[in-house]
Chain A
Amino acid sequence: MSLHSTRGRLGLAIGALGVSALVLSGCATSTGGDEGGAGGEIVVGTTDKITSLDPAGSYDNGSFAVMNQVYPFLLNSTYGTAEVTPDIAESAEFTSPTEYTVTLKPGLKFANGNDLTSSDVKFSFDRVVTINDPNGPASLLGNLDSVATPDDTTVVFTLKNGNDQIWPLILSSPAAPIVDEDVFSADSVTSDDDIVEGEPFAGQYTITSYKVNELIAYKPYDGYQGNLGAAENDGVSVKYYADASNLKLAVGNGDIDVAFRSLSATDVEDLSKNDKVKVVEGPGGETRYIVFNFNTMPFGATTAEADPAKAQAVRQAAASLVDREALASNVYKDTYSPLYSFVPQGMPGATEPLKELYGDGSGGPSVDKAKEILDAAGVQTPVALSLQYNGDHYGPSSGDEYAAVKAQLEEGGLFAVDLQQTEWVQYAKDRTADVYPAYQLGWFPDYSDADNYLSPFFLTENFLGNHYDNPEVNDLIVASQTETDSDKRMEMIGQIQDLVANDLSTLPLLQGKQVAVVGAGVEGTTLDASFKFRYAPLTK
C-alpha cells in the first residue's frame, strides 16, 4: 500500500498546488516588480469559480487562488521557484522519521487583531480532517496522525508513515492554509460571509469586499510576516467571468489588467497580435493522455482473444502513430507542448523515454515502426479500437484533439478507430466500470512533485482502475516516497518512467502551459512551477 495512495483525487480538475522541495527549471516573470512601493490598483479577470473560502470545504483552482492571497502557510515558495521554504514558520524539519517540527515566527497576528499561535495551526489541520468534506482536501492529510503544540510557537506533526518526502509540500497545499480558531467552526464548513466578516486573514492581503464569483477586492495586509514580502501594488480587484470570450474582450479592450485562467488557445493566439497586451507563459503541470483498459482493450485480459503480448503491441503501435507536435500546434496553438513521459518536463526527475522508444525515435510519428511492432507480435490489421473522449470536462477543443488522434492512428490503415463522446457524469461512471477500452483523461497535480504523476496512476491500487499491475513499478513507487537521498530518489523516478514507458498503461500526449495575458504596462506577472498565481508582485 502506498504512503500516498489516499491523496490521488480521480485526476480531475484539482488545483495546481503545492510546491516542490526541489526547484523546477521553468518559470516566467515579466520584468519589473522588484522595487517596493505603490504599484497602482490592479484588476484581474478570471473564469475560475470559488466553491468556498474555507480551506476545509474546497479543493479547486478558484478557491485556492483566493486562499493563496489571504491565508498564510507554514511553508511556501517564493516568486519564481517551486522550492518550499518557511513562510510564517521560522524553521521546519524532520526531528524524527515520524515527527515534523515547525517553529512559528513570534508575534504573528491575523488582520482582525487575534494572535496567530500554534493553537491556530493545530486547529487548522484538525478541522480539515474532522470535517472531511467531500469537496475538501482532507485526502491530502492521509498520512497525518496527530498535531501537538508544546508551546505557542511550536507545532509537532506526527505522521503515520515515516520519512514522508511529500509532507513539506503538503504544508503549502490547499490542505494547509492557517486559519483563525476564533472565526472558523471546528466541525463544519464556515460560510464565506462569516469568514469575510471575521477577517481571519494573515497572508499578503485582506478582503475588503466580496461578492461570490462576481467581484473580490483585496487590500495589502501590512501584518504579513511571511517569506513573500509585502504586496507591491495598492490593491487588487478580481472580476469573475462566466465566458472566456468576455474575458478576452475585457483584457483586449483594457477593461482589466490581467486575464488568468482560462482563455482558449485561439483567444491567446488572437491576443498575441494585440499591441495593448502581452502574453506571459510559464510551466504548467497539466497533462492530457489516453488510458488503456487492460481488460477490455483489443487482446485485453477479458476479451475473447486475450493476449498480453498482442495487447502491449497495440499500445506501443498507438504510441508510434500519435503526432504530439501536430496536436500541440494545430489544435492548441502551442498553448500545450508535446509530452513524452508520464512526468511533465520541468519537474525534477522527468525523463522522455517515449521519444526514443516509439515513432521515428525523435518524437515524431512513424507508420513503419508501428507496423513493425504489430507484425512482430502477430497482430492482424486494422486493429479495431474503440476510443472515448469527453468534451464538457476537458474543454471544447477535446473534439478537435481526438478527431486528430483518430486520424493519426488510422494513418497507414493499421487501426480502425471508433471514436465516441460521452457526457461527463456518465463518462466518469463508465470509465471505471470497464466500459471504455481506451479513453481520454487529464490531470492537474495535487502537489508539485513527480510522485503526483506516478503513484495515483501506476500503483496496483490506482485511481484509473484500468487493471494495470506491475509489482516492480509498484515497489519502486512506494520506495521512492520514503527515500531521503534526493539523487537516489530521482534515479528511482527515472526507472519507474522507463518501466511504464514499456508497459504503456497510459499514453501521454500533451503538457499544458500556464498562460496569462496582461496589459502592456503591467509588470511582475510570475508564473512558476509552484502553480500559484500571486497578485502581490503585479504593478502597473
Chain B
Amino acid sequence: MAVDAVAPAVTPRRTSKGGGLWRYIVIRLLLIIPTVLILVTLVFFLMRLTGDPITAALGGRLPPDQLAERIAAAGYDQPLILQYLQYLGGVVRGDFGTTITDRRPVIEILLQYGSATLELAIYALIVAFVVSIPLGLIAAYRRDRWQDAVLRIMAILAYATPIFFVGLLLKLLFSVWLGWLPVSGRGSTRTELLMSGIDTPTGIYLLDAIRLGNGAAIGDVLWHAVLPAIALGLLTAGVFLRLVRTNVIGTLGQQYVTSGRSRGVGEMRLVTRHAFRPALIPIITVMGMQVAMLLAGAVLTETVFEWKGLGFMLAEYLKARDFVAVQGIVVMIAVIVAVTNFVVDIVAAAIDPRVRY
C-alpha cells in the first residue's frame, strides 16, 4: 500500500442531537435488562443460602411431616435451578409469588405499599433540595469563612448520623416533648378511614386527599409527613449540600462569571443563575445514586415512623422470616434503582450532550 495513499473517507457519525439521544436511550434501556437479571439472580440465590422460605418462616412451628408437605406443595423440594427458572418466569409475568405469613400476592404488596414509599421519597427529595441548594450556595459564596465551615460540618453530620437516630430525636423533640407533630403513621384514624373508602386510590395520600377535595385531610397528611420527610431528606441533603458547594465554587471561578461581575451583574444573580445552573448537571447525575440511598433509608425511616411503605413491610417480613415477600420487595427495589438511574441518565444526557459520548 502506498504510504501517501489517501485514506478512505470516513463516513461521518450521525451527531445530530435527536439521533444521538435516541441511540443513547435505546442502549441505556437495553442495559437495564442484564442489570435487573443480575440483581434478580443475586437476590434469589442469596436468599436461598438461608434455606427454603417455608422452613425459614414456619420451621419449629410445624411438625416435620407438615413442614415437608408444605415445602413440596410450594415446589421448594425441586432442584434449585428449576426453582430459579420458575421464579424468573413468574417475575417476567409480574408474579412474584404469594407471601407465606399472610397469604397475599407479593405484587399486591408491591403496588399497595410502593406508592407510600414513593410519596415519602418525593417529600424527602423536596426537603433535600430546599435545604441543600440555598445552603450549598451560601457555603460556596462564603468559601472558607465561618459560614462555610458551619455548613460543611452540618452536611457531614446530616449524612453521617444514623437515620433511625435522627428519626427518634425528631420524634422525641417534636412529638413527645413539644407535642407539635404526630408520633407515627401516614394520617390520623379519620384520614386513614377516609382513604380506605376511596374507589381506585392512587395510594399517594396527598393526591387522594386532593382528589377528595378535603382540606382537613390534605393538612393532616402533610402534617404526618413532616418528620419522616425531614429525617429521610436530611440524609440526602448533606450529600447535595456538599455537591452544590463544590460545583458552584468551580463555576464561580470561571471566566464568564468574572466577566459577568465586571459587567455589573449582581452577586445574587451571578451565584444563583450563572454559577449554579452549570453546576446542576453533576447534582442530577448523583441524584440517581441517591435514590438507592433514599430507599435504604426508607426502611429505617418508615420503621421508626410506622410509615407503612415498602421499607416498613420489608422490615416486617424480615422479622417474620417471610423470604418470599422479602425477595419480591428487594427485587422491586433493585428494579426501581435501575430504572431511576436510567431516567436520570437520560435527563442528564438531554441537558448536556457531552454525556452521550
Contacts and interface: CB of A to CB of B under 8 A. Distances in A.
B316 interface: yes
B196 A134 contact: no
Contacts of B341: none
A488 interface: no
Contacts of A250: 183-184
A209 B193 contact: yes
A227 interface: no
A309 interface: no
A214 B61 contact: no
A38 interface: no
A51 B101 contact: yes
Interface in A206-243: 209-215, 217, 237, 239, 241-243
A241 B56 contact: no
B197 interface: yes
A423 to B, nearest CB: 10
B183 A249 contact: yes
A210 to B, nearest CB: 8
A211 B189 contact: no
Interface string B155-181: 000000000000000010001100100
Identify the interface centre among B55, B66, B188, B193: most chain A CB within 10 Å of its CB.
B193
Contact of A215 (B171, B183, B193): B193
B4 interface: no
Interface string B90-124: 00000000000111100000000000000000000
B61 A255 contact: no
A134 B58 CA distance: 10
Nearest to B188: A255
A246 interface: yes
B306 A191 contact: no
B60 interface: yes
Contacts of B290: none
A515 to B, nearest CB: 20
A249 B101 contact: no
Contacts of A426: 60
A242 B309 CA distance: 13
Contacts of A215: 189, 192-193, 196
B276 interface: no
B70 interface: yes
A249 B175 contact: yes
A12 B312 contact: no
A425 B189 CA distance: 36
A280 B233 CA distance: 41
Contacts of B102: 50-52, 212-213
Contact of A424 (B60, B103, B189, B308): B60
A336 interface: no
Contacts of B188: 255
B303 interface: yes
A147 interface: no
Interface string B298-335: 00000100101000100110000100000000000000
A10 B63 CA distance: 10
B62 interface: yes
Nearest to B64: A429
